[in-house]
Structure 1
Amino acid sequence: MNPRYSRQQDIVPAERIASCRATVIGVGAIGRQVALQLAAMGIPWLQLIDHDLIEVTNIASQGYFEADLGKPKVRATAGLCRQINSKLEVVSVEQRFKRSGEIGNCVFCAVDSIHTRRLIWQAVKDRSTFFVDGRMTAESLRVITAADESSRLHYPRTLFTPQRAYAGACTAKTTIYCANIAAGFMLAQFTKFLRQMPAEADIQLNLLAAEISVTE
């Protein structure tokens, strides 16, 4: 056992994570944190997909550095992931997700559009063994996992029309602490998958009200 990972060895099976190739689609508030956690956890191959450049509003809401302004989000995040784990193979895709593109067997979706989520799901559902979708607005988050037959049936039901999506005030749309918690829930579901344990299909958490709802 690599001493680097000794404190997680009972939670993150080394032989299982070694066989995983992770794709993170959307490297904003949630996706950036997912990528950093995967790098620290020891994922061997990490693909980052996003077409956006870093703007000043991304510093407080997404945790980017001032020195990153103007850079592609995937490039800045990839660089930090390599600082965390020099042995990590990182593939940066500086463009929008494409149906025909290469993906890993574990997909972490962190985009901000129901329409885009629907396109991604249609493209990856038969090519991934683990899929998790992180959503948030202000201080509310939702993490939806598709990793077995029942959860794969549940996920498409969450792809409602954009008109039914919750619309928070744009100035209160993103908080870095809520994004961190959402990423943590996504990685918790991933580690359950690695341990071959059933994951929760749908978790909803309202931090302001301290309310949580879980669908098995």
Structure 2
Amino acid sequence: MSNTATASTLDELFGVPRLPCEVRAWEFNAQPQSLQLLDEALGQTLNEWKRISANALLLNASKCAHFIWCIDEQGATWIAYEEIARPQDGDAAGFKQAPLFKEGLPRFRDIPVHPALNRKLGHPTLISGQKARIAGELYLDPQYGGNIEWVANARSGRYCNPQPSNNNCINARNHLRSLIDQNLIWDFWI
């Protein structure tokens, strides 16, 4: 978003900023290692990944990749690979200590505990539990006429409850299209 966008303009485009309905105790000091500001340069990188993901060798790996994104109170768009946290030794289920981080979901190769004990880093970790206007997921999907396409939604259980308006979703879609790919598909789930 432009640095000149006013709060009222942002409210109209993406909804009023809201705090997450929940931030888990272990998430307060957690931040995805892949966290990035989504700008046009990163959008070009994501589009290049889409291009090379059409290769049969990389297609299945790309289908497993899942990003989370949000637009913060100031209108900045943040994105990260959906990463997981795992408990430290002696804290198998409760996360009473700060969790250890393992990049990537669903790759569990060297995690010694059952995957059900792991926790995904949710949308609040993108912006330290602060207010967001809209948030969701971004992933590649090959089910659109045989082409692999970027698909986005506003499925953040913590920021998008109640659901954003259709207009806010359309504006978020157009914003993500301007940064990533004009062919990006929005998954309306209403």
Shorter-chain-normalised TM-score: which range?
under 0.3
**Taking structure 2 as the reference length, what is the TM-score of the superposition?**
0.27
**Taking structure 1 as the reference length, what is the TM-score of the superposition?**
0.24
Q: Which has the higher helix share?
A: 1
Greater length-normalized contact order (CA 8 Å, ≥ 6 residues apart): 2
